[in-house]
Amino acid sequence: MRKLLSFLLSAMVGVMVLAPAAQAFPVVGGEFTSTYVNRAEFIKIVVMDAGYTVWDGSTPTSCVFTDMTGAEWYYRYVITACEAGFVSDGTDFRAGDIVNRAEAAKMIYLAYSVPYSIPATPTYTDVAPETWYYGYIESLVSYGVFSSTVSNFYPSNPLSKLFIILWLSRI
């Protein structure tokens, strides 16, 4: 999977250099429909990349989401993520919502069991120590997933598909 992520990153960077105005980035087997990723897409990418065995329905699950019936294409990936502990159940999953960078940081941190690490001084000016996502983001900086050479993280910005590939290639 790492080779695939590296290939996709190279392809996407190449497309961005050759066609900066393009809104869709071609990939093997099709096209991205948006520059941003929704919750269902993100969960599938992380479950597959992290090497989780995808829940097949043969065992019971205690995970319940009020907005899912079990017939959705992403259902088994969400249940896998819930059983693994990087998605919480008991409420709506909101599959079509765009993932922001802070939410992605939390799920990546939990899915890949990144060691907890907090610096003496915050890395980013827009990620305060009292925010819920501070520990996740700083731990991923320490682990080398996020850059420590920029001053802002932009936690509420939507997560682009390019950054997913970049971040996961660093795990």
- Summarize the confidence of residues 157-165 as an average pLDDT: 92
pLDDT exceeds cutoff 90 at 1: no
β-bridge partners, 36 = 160
Q: How many Å apart are CA 42 and CA 120, to the nearest integer? A: 31
Position 102 scores a pLDDT of 97
Query: What are 2-56's pLDDT values in tens digits?
Result: 555 554 555 454 444 333 333 333 343 445 456 899 999 999 999 999 999 999 9
Q: How many Å apart are CA 111 and CA 106, to the nearest integer? A: 8
Cβ atoms within 10 Å of 82's Cβ, excluding its own: 21
DSSP state of 59: S
